[in-house]
Amino acid sequence: MKTIVLKFSGPLQSWGIGSHFENRDTSKYPTKSAVIGLIASALGYRRDETAKIQELNNLSFGVRVDQIGTILRDFHIAKSQKQSYVTNRYYLQDAVFAVMISHKDSNKIDAIVKSLEQPDFAPYLGRRSVPVNSDYIQDVLEDDLLSVIKSYPWLASEWYQKKFMREEKADEFIELDALVDGDLIDDGTPSIYNRDKVESFAFSYRNHQFRAVKAIRVKIPVEAIEEATEHDAFQSIGG
């Protein structure tokens, strides 16, 4: 089994889960349906190739919140001949996520990796106005998704790691929230159900069904981070 590790760390991201009309919301973490859309576009699938897109639901999915972002509201005033109205678009800013994709068929994972490296259509972080970060492809590991999400190094920005370690007095481990497909954990705990299973991306019939998700907490070792020293502009002058 192979697992792809993606890093989503653009200054803005938007992962709509229940948007309606003038209000375009965002989830607090990337949704599986959005990542399936990203993979489908990289593979060159068209919106109406429903069977191909639905097959991607069989990929195992997990997301780890490595850096908690904040919500940004962007509004526009749109005008028609008869009236004007306000549209609201919501984004996550300064967030970092470790996204895991795996499948028991390594050939499928290899094909996805190749397409992500050379996508047919440009990938973006939930909206076309928000391109992916240049280092969004992090790793391809010979391991299962749960093992990877519990062990992969912390991907938060250095400034965030320093701030967190200072405020939380964390020196060995950091505890992070993660969400994974419900069928990956058989421990008897109840699942959360999100309307996040792709039925169709076609403009004439966009539809999603519910899928089971389980929330977990993972402990990641914290690597030593050297505190930056203040730069002395006069040091080289002497005196």
Looking at 1.10.10.10, 3.40.50.720, 3.30.70.2660, 3.10.20.30, the CATH number of the domain 2-16+26-69+91-221 comes to 3.30.70.2660
Q: Do residues 52 and 128 make contact, with C-beta atoms less than 8 angstroms apart?
A: no
Q: Tokens representing 5? A: 């590790």
Every domain of the chain and the residues it spans: 2-16+26-69+91-221
Q: Name the amino acid, one letter, at 111.
A: A
Q: Mean pLDDT of residues grouped by 10 in the chain (239 residues)?
A: 95 79 80 95 94 96 96 79 79 95 96 97 91 95 96 95 83 91 90 90 85 95 60 42
Query: Residue 185 burial by CB count (10 A; 0-12/13-18/19+): exposed, middle or buried?
Result: middle
Ramachandran assignment for 67, one of left (phi > 0), alpha (psi -120 to 50 degrees), beta (any other): beta
Query: What pLDDT, on a 0 to 100 scale, did the predictor assign at position 134?
Result: 93
For 1-32, how does the pLDDT look when each residue is reduced to its tens digit (9 = 90+)? 999 999 999 899 998 776 555 667 788 999 99
User: Rounded CA gap, 42 and 116, in Å?
Assistant: 6
**Coil, strand or helix: which one is 195?**
strand
